[in-house]
Amino acid sequence: MQEEDIEVAIKVVVVGNGSVGKSSMIQRYCKGVFTRDYKKTIGVDFLERELRVNDDDDEVRLMLWDTAGQEEFDAITKAYYRGAQACVLVFSTVDRDSFLSVAAWKEKVEQEVGGIPTVLVQNKIDLLDEAAVHSDEAEALARKLRLRFYRTSVKEDLNVNEVFKYIAEKYLIRVKQQRVEEQSRPASKGSRIGSNPFSAVGTSAERPHWAQANRSDLVALRPSRQRAKRSRATLGGCRVL
């Protein structure tokens, strides 16, 4: 990676009913571990991981926010949706209520941040013998919501990496498309084309729906000059904050 390249930091919220495997999914992805013990998330937990994606070898830092799925924490977790740039919607193969709640979770997130890159995940497919959701139902929901759909098993470490790689790639595509639009648009008075991918998007009414967040909530792109000095061996690791 050259010094003039940039690193993108993406805030990703992982949402869904309680006990569908959100915390386990993030732990598996960041730490490579799986635990059978269920511990209810109180409010919000946070982990992060760096990865390289696509043919350009772009460096991405995913900031993964694990939100509580219980209604008593709804007021707390909604505040953490603000500034989110991508979303993972999770339901469980053995919990039909979690499947029926997917659309409501999607709406909650969109009420705070508008439309952002989102992926639908059916977790615990290692328990298909106990399935409460038919495969065709899940696929139909993904088509209805127009979302990429993954079936995962956190226990077996199946498709977990693919979920987060997809969400990173999806976000990068949108950022690069926005940069092209910025460069092709004549600079107007007060416009500032800089490191922020949305710095010259225009007025709120002119912005695409996925860019309708407060500018202060957006994670700006920044030169990776300092990060380039770090050992590549750190990539793929994670930090618990």
Taking the domains of the chain in order of start, what are their residue ranges?
A: 1-241
Cα within 13 Å of Cα(74), Cβ side: 9
Query: What single letter denotes the amino acid at residue 21?
Result: G
Q: Would you state the structure tokens that stand for residue 54, as one six-digit string?
A: 């696509």
User: Could you tell me which of 118, 159, 154 has the C-alpha nearest to residue 26?
Assistant: 154
Task: State residue 5's pLDDT score.
Answer: 54
The model carries a pTM of 0.70
Residue 205 has pLDDT above 80, yes or no: no
Question: What is the torsion angle, in degrees rounded to the nearest 10, for the CA atoms of residue 45, residue 156, residue 151 and residue 68?
Answer: -20
Residue 238 has pLDDT above 90, yes or no: no
Question: Who wins on pLDDT, 143 or 45?
Answer: 143
Instruction: Return d(Cα 84, Cα 81) in angstroms, integer.
Output: 5
Task: State residue 93's pLDDT score.
Answer: 97
pLDDT tens per residue, range 50-91: 988 877 778 899 999 887 655 555 666 677 888 999 999 999
User: Could you tell me which of 160, 166, 132 has the C-alpha nearest to residue 31?
Assistant: 160
In CATH terms, the superfamily for domain 1-241 is: P-loop containing nucleotide triphosphate hydrolases (3.40.50.300)
